[in-house]
């Protein structure tokens, strides 16, 4: 099945306009979907749109409304919404170029692939792509899609371009409100060196395919066991006590050194935590 473009229009750089198509760069994974079930009958629960004091209503009678004051709405028809004129509905103009490192990672939202719409657009598309590569810059602009206008970044990606939607400044919580209680202390030099050695030991090339969604696999296994149990409740397996919480006596130096001695773990699998004093005592009590 041929993918349908998410957006079609012009990618503009000053007086140069390049016809492009934009495709979503993400797809839904192999998720496990659950539905709400009425237990006595075993049938799925359905949802009806209803109005207080009236009950269920026909979908043809539903309009979009904006609450301009408490309990009062202005109703808008679909063609009225479509009539809102924004140049960014059809044109993505790159108005600013910045180094990629200037954009904080927390602003990035969702990626899209950008390709030339036809053969005539290819030459200008390649020129823009290579100029971005050589200057190591990211182009910024605004684009209207699906009922809102986004700030977007455009940068090279292989033979094409990747566009990423960015969050607006007022959509992000200030980091300082979360980080204010973290002390600005300098770590012990030897501890820092051990941590750097551990990072160096686990350094490698990024391969997204090396990571699997283990939670999905566990859910599928649970469903299979539930089917074999013919409706009987599945008893959860005991988990090892977590090495966390206030009051744990952790020898950080010993933990880092022991981590360096461990054989290399496979990517995408969690290494077992180094036991803390509390964990060791708990294990001893269980054995007793």
For the stretch 219-268, pLDDT in tens is 888 888 888 887 787 777 655 565 554 444 468 888 888 888 877 655 54
Domain residues for the domain of 210 are 189-287
Within a domain: 56: no
pTM of the model: 0.70
The predicted structure's pLDDT at residue 279: 40
CA pair distance 10, 21, nearest whole angstrom: 8
Regarding whether 217 and 103 lie in a shared domain, the answer is no
- In the chain, which stretches have pLDDT less than 50? 245-249, 268-288
Regarding whether 137 and 280 lie in a shared domain, the answer is no
Tokens of 180: 């204010």
Which of 171, 199, 232 terminates a domain? The answer is: 171
Contact present, 22 and 113 (Cβ < 8 Å):
yes
Regarding whether 210 and 99 lie in a shared domain, the answer is no
> Contacts from 209-214 at CB under 8 Å and sequence distance 24+?
210/267, 210/268, 211/267, 211/268, 212/268, 213/29, 213/30, 214/268
Regarding whether 279 and 196 lie in a shared domain, the answer is yes
The predicted structure's pLDDT at residue 282: 44
Within a domain: 57: no
Within a domain: 211: yes
The predicted structure's pLDDT at residue 250: 62
Token pair 């495709």 is found at: 23
Within a domain: 98: yes
The predicted structure's pLDDT at residue 4: 87
Regarding whether 200 and 277 lie in a shared domain, the answer is yes
Regarding whether 201 and 125 lie in a shared domain, the answer is no
Which of 137, 171, 205 terminates a domain? The answer is: 171
The predicted structure's pLDDT at residue 243: 54
Regarding whether 280 and 193 lie in a shared domain, the answer is yes
CA pair distance 109, 127, nearest whole angstrom: 27
The predicted structure's pLDDT at residue 241: 62
Count of domains in the chain? 2
């Amino acid at each position: 099945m041929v993918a349908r473009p998410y957006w079609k229009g012009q990618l503009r750089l000053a007086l140069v306009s390049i016809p492009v198509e934009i495709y979503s760069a993400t797809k839904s994974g192999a998720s496990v979907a659950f539905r709400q079930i009425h237990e006595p009958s075993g049938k799925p629960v359905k949802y009806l749109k209803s109005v207080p004091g009236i009950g269920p209503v026909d979908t043809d009678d539903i309009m979009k409304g904006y609450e301009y004051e408490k309990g009062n709405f202005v109703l808008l028809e679909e063609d009225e919404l479509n009539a809102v004129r924004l140049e960014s509905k059809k044109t993505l103009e790159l108005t600013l170029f910045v180094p990629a490192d200037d954009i904080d990672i927390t602003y990035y939202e969702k990626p899209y692939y950008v390709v030339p719409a036809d053969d005539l657009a290819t030459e200008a598309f390649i020129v823009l792509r290579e100029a971005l590569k050589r200057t190591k810059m990211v182009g910024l602009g605004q684009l209207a899609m699906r009922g809102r206008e986004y700030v977007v970044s455009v940068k090279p990606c292989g033979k094409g371009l990747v566009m990423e939607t960015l969050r607006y400044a007022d959509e992000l919580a200030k980091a300082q409100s979360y980080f204010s209680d973290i002390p600005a202390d300098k770590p012990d030099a030897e501890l820092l060196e051990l941590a750097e050695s551990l990072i160096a030991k686990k350094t490698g090339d990024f391969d997204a395919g090396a990571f699997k969604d283990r939670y999905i696999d566990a859910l599928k296994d649970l469903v299979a066991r539930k089917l074999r149990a013919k409706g009987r409740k599945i008893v959860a397996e005991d988990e090892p006590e977590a090495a966390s919480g206030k009051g744990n006596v952790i020898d950080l130096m010993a933990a880092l050194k022991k981590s360096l001695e461990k054989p290399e773990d496979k990517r995408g699998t969690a290494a077992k935590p180094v036991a803390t004093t509390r964990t060791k005592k708990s294990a001893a009590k269980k054995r007793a």
